[in-house]
Homo-oligomer: A and B are copies of this chain.
Amino acid sequence: MNAPEIKSLSGHAAMPDIQGSHDHRDMPIEQVGVRGVRYPVLIAREDGSSQPSVGEFSLSVGLPAHQKGTHMSRFIELLESLNQRGISLSAASMRAALSDMLKRLAAESGIIEVSLPFFMMKAAPISGVQSMMDYRCRWSAEQIAFSAGETPALRLSCEVKVPVKSLCPCSKEISEYGAHNQRSEVTVSVTLRDDADFSVESLVRTIESQASCELWGLLKRPDEKYVTERAYDNPKFVEDLVRDVATAVRSVGGVAGYVVEAENFESIHNHSAWARIVG
């Protein structure tokens, strides 16, 4: 085995760089990096302001066959750099962070993923009272070769998880009164064509508009009456939900492709009904 390179750090004895030594197994690694790293983040809002949140990051690069290991500390240096510069999370800053990561790691391919909660202020449908509604989103920027021999290409995607209400058309049809309904979660992941046109908030509103009824954090009685009747007037199977959301998502600005999933936490069973459309 070739000797590891000795690097000198000012004020410390020279230490061997094991990670940088030569590897003889002839096996490249698709992804190597850090996972489950929590760091403060700012999210760029559509009104130009920033919302603070807490991100959970996964950062990785491709490692060539001849290299024994990557330098894990550089991933955290990148996060600290973004944090100190007060960078807001957006399509543009995800691209820039990916480019920065590839330079720091001297890598040709890599993936940055970050998952985080975010909030939108909503007004209740009748009373108009204001409250925050919470969602989760996940940004992903990938510079990878999607098949062997290809030049790595960049792909940017954004996923949101939107809780909604679903009401069962079958239950409504066959019952003399009432209809079972429940909380559902719609997960939409979109790949982006044109960053400038895309807004997470717009994607959320598009999804909410297709449910039996959307949710709010704070509802007064006239609002609760509205939600109840709106859902009863608007029954949807989980199949209807994914089809209607998929149709609507196509017209969201900047979207090149999508995966739509809906999961109904069934109120008549202890399991979920679930559907998925890829477009």
Binding site for B on A (CB under 8 A): 4, 9, 12, 15-19, 23, 25, 27, 29-40, 51-54, 58, 60, 63, 68-70, 72-73, 76-77, 79-80, 83, 117, 119, 126-127, 129-134, 163, 165, 167-171, 173-183, 213, 215-222, 224-225, 227-229, 231-232, 237-240, 242-244, 246-247, 263, 265-278
Would you call A32 and B276 a contact (CB within 8 A)? yes
Chain B residue with minimal CB distance to A261?
B31
Tell me which residues across on chain B come within 8 A of A276, comparing CB atoms: 29-32, 60
- Name the residue among A15, A51, A52 with the largest chain B CB count within 10 angstroms: A15
Nearest-Cβ distance from residue A124 to partner chain B, whole angstroms: 9
Known contacts A119-B40, A175-B225; A247/B76 CB under 8 A:
no
Tell me which residues across on chain B come within 8 A of A213, comparing CB atoms: 268
Known contacts A4-B173, A278-B30; A130/B80 CB under 8 A:
yes
Main secondary structure of the interface of A (DSSP, over half): mixed
Would you call A32 and B274 a contact (CB within 8 A)? yes
Given contacts A69-B239, A224-B268, 20 further A-B contacts (CB under 8 A): A9-B220, A18-B169, A25-B243, A25-B247, A29-B275, A33-B275, A35-B272, A38-B117, A39-B134, A52-B53, A60-B276, A170-B221, A171-B228, A174-B221, A178-B228, A178-B231, A181-B267, A182-B182, A217-B270, A265-B265
Would you call A237 and B80 a contact (CB within 8 A)? no
Cβ 8 A contact of A60, one of B25, B73, B179, B274: B274
Cα of A83 to Cα of B178 in the assembled complex, Å: 34
Cβ 8 A contact of A267, one of B170, B182, B229: B182
Tell me which residues across on chain B come within 8 A of A170, comparing CB atoms: 18-19, 69, 221, 224
Cα of A80 to Cα of B210 in the assembled complex, Å: 27
Cα of A233 to Cα of B179 in the assembled complex, Å: 12
Nearest-Cβ distance from residue A267 to partner chain B, whole angstroms: 5
Would you call B9 and A273 a contact (CB within 8 A)? no
Cα of A237 to Cα of B76 in the assembled complex, Å: 18
Cα of A29 to Cα of B275 in the assembled complex, Å: 7
Tell me which residues across on chain B come within 8 A of A52, comparing CB atoms: 40, 52-53
Tell me which residues across on chain B come within 8 A of A273, comparing CB atoms: 32-35, 72
Would you call A73 and B219 a contact (CB within 8 A)? yes
Tell me which residues across on chain B come within 8 A of A31, comparing CB atoms: 274-276
Would you call A215 and B270 a contact (CB within 8 A)? yes
Chain B residue with minimal CB distance to A37?
B271
Nearest-Cβ distance from residue A37 to partner chain B, whole angstroms: 4
